[in-house]
Structure 1
Amino acid sequence: EPRRSACVYASVEAGRPVTIAPQLSTVMAMLECAEPSLIAWRVLARVGDVFMTVDEDDAVAVMNRLARPLDNDPAIVSGESGGAGLAGLIRAAGDKGMRAALGLDATSRVLVINSEGATDAGRYTELVGAVPRELELQIA
């Protein structure tokens, strides 16, 4: 979840749902929450093994990386919140300690879900330098 809006992370540390004080807005607006959903918390508290936060720059970097893929892969239009999971994975994969803690190695298979596209086309264009509709037409 966004570092600037890490209510689930704070709840994990406290061992119970907590409300965090408002902070600076996050570019990952769809994940901007001051308190966790109690329904989600009941599940996450039981089955979650590892929790982490994502920085603003990491989320925007994922949007750009997916819009400009390597080789012949198609572009993926990912919103700021949609790419948070991939941003976390990239950060974890680049850190030896995190890789070890998660058991990530060359044989790991990871499923990453992009949960949203460009929910604000103007903001997407500002952050990525590309019009989401034009990228989508290239994909189709």
Structure 2
Amino acid sequence: SIVITVAKQEPTVMTMLECAEPSLVAWRVLARVGDAFMTVDEEDAVAVMKRLARPLGSDPAIVSGESGGAGLAGLVRAAGDRRIRAALGLDTHSRVLVINSEGATDHGRFAELVGMAPEEVFLQSA
């Protein structure tokens, strides 16, 4: 595999993931252990923020930033697409680890996207 530089595009809501090329240090590891890579749509990232802030059932409320929930957004997209599930070998026996790497780095932007302040999300879990 080779490292390429992507032409600059429109800004993304996932600012912490906005880069034109991967870190060469990180790529040395990812190229060996990564099975697949995908892009995440803006709408999917924001939908994950909202779902984590307003969980179902007894799930805990989680404050996730726009970039932090990208992994879960990708998993949700993959799980909902038969072709991607098959390509990744995802089935009812799969075990998946998702890491939320970011909280609300901009409280105002979080409230704008989610419809509630991070503090309100924390109070739900108290």
Q: Which amino acid aligns with 1:47?
A: V
* Rounded Cα–Cα distance in structure 1 between residues aligned with 2:95 and 2:2: 31
Matched, 1:136 2:122: yes
> Residue 103 of structure 2: which of 113, 117, 124 is its match?
117
Aligned sequence identity (%): 76
* Rounded Cα–Cα distance in structure 2 between residues aligned with 1:94 and 1:123: 28
Q: Which amino acid aligns with 2:110?
A: Y
* Rounded Cα–Cα distance in structure 1 between residues aligned with 2:15 and 2:113: 14
Q: Which amino acid aligns with 1:132?
A: P
Q: Which amino acid aligns with 1:109?
A: R
> Residue 98 of structure 1: which of 75, 84, 94 is its match?
84
> Residue 28 of structure 1: which of 14, 22, 33 is its match?
14
* Rounded Cα–Cα distance in structure 1 between residues aligned with 2:113 and 2:78: 23
Report the Cα offset of residue 21 of structure 1: 1.4
Taking structure 1 as the reference length, the TM-score comes to 0.86
* Rounded Cα–Cα distance in structure 2 between residues aligned with 1:73 and 1:127: 21
Taking structure 2 as the reference length, the TM-score comes to 0.95
* Rounded Cα–Cα distance in structure 1 between residues aligned with 2:73 and 2:17: 14
Q: Which amino acid aligns with 1:122?
A: G
Matched, 1:107 2:103: no
Unaligned runs of 5+ residues in structure 1 are 1-14
1:1-140 map, 5 Å:
15-140=1-126
Structure 1 segments, 4+ long, off by >6 Å, are none
Unaligned runs of 5+ residues in structure 2 are none
